[in-house]
Structures are given as structure tokens and as C-alpha cells.
A = this chain, B = another copy of it.
Amino acid sequence: MNGLDRRDFRILTELVADARASQVELAGKIGLSPTACARRIHQLEEAGIIRGYRADLDLPMLGLVTTVMVTITLEKQSEDFLAAFEAAVARCPDVITCHLMSGTDDYHLQVVARDIADFERIHKQHLSRMPGVARIHSSFAMREVVRRAIPETALPR
């Protein structure tokens, strides 16, 4: 994967904390000239380690207060069933994460909705219509306890 040193990790740490920090600011914090800092950032971007920079929005403030964890089991686990299902999931705008799980070969989805009625719409309109779906299990989140951009162990210092 790498050849990253402590300064690279420091840069990544700072950019996760504040992606809009100026380069002189970053350079000062990690003890480097702005030019060298900019070069490292470019390398991290081109290596694909930095995928981009995103604004972190408060979803509840935008009316999205309902998080639902959905487990979906398919009728069959053949290649084309998986592919067809995954294409449908990717097209559903309300899904923010989807993982293919080991063991029982089902999918875990995290769905965000405005309220329970909105989730019902998503369920009817998208989830239940996805190809090859045998069972859908939904459970509602009452409260978000922890939310981190990355695990704290990702970037040693």
C-alpha cells in the first residue's frame, strides 16, 4: 500500500479534521514548507489514498431523521442474481451503504429516510421491487450514538 511516513499521516489526519485548511496552515502544523506539503497532498490524491473532499452535512437538519438498517436475502446466490440485485441497489438514491455479507450471503443496507412514511415508500417503491429478493428485514435506529469519518486507528502518529 504505501511508503507513508509520519508527516503523510499527519497531513491525512488534519485533512480529515478540516479539508478546507489552507496549505500554509497545514504546513505550519506539521513543520513543513507549504510547497512540500502541497506536493505530498498531490501524491496522496494521485495514489488514490485521498478519494476526494466532501462537506459533512447534518442530515437531521435537512429533514432526514430516520435511519433504517435493512437485511436482504436473495432467492439464489448465483453470479447474475447478485449482479442484478447490486445494480438495483446502486440505483436506489436512499441507500447510503450496502455490503455483501459472508456466511448467509445476504446484504446489509443502511437507508436514510425523512420519516417512517417515507421509508414505507422506499420499501414499496425500491426495496421490494429489487430483483431476486426473497426476504427483507428492517430495523429502525432510535438514536445515533457514534459516527466517525474514519476509525481512529487508521492513521498512526
Q: Which A residues are closer than 8 A to B by beta carbons? A: 1-2, 12, 15-20, 47-59, 61-64, 67, 69, 86, 89-90, 93-104, 107-109, 112, 139-155
Complex CA–CA separation, A148 to B143 (angstroms): 20
Q: A49-B57, A57-B154, A146-B90 are in contact. Are A1 and B100 (CB under 8 A)?
A: no
Number of copies of this chain that the complex holds: 2
Residues of B near A52 (CB, < 8 A) are 17-19, 55-56
Q: Which residues of B contact A143 (CB under 8 A)?
A: 99-100
Contacts of A61 in B (CB 8 A): 1-2, 47-49
Interface pair A49/B54, CB less than 8 Å apart? no
- Look across to chain B and name the residue whose beta carbon is closest to the beta carbon of A90: B146
In-complex Cβ contact of A139 among B47, B101, B150 (8 A) = B101
Between-chain CB contacts (< 8 Å), 17 pairs: A15-B55, A16-B55, A18-B52, A18-B53, A19-B53, A48-B61, A53-B53, A59-B154, A90-B145, A93-B151, A94-B153, A96-B148, A99-B142, A100-B145, A102-B139, A102-B141, A109-B146
Is the Cβ of A67 less than 8 Å from the Cβ of B20? no
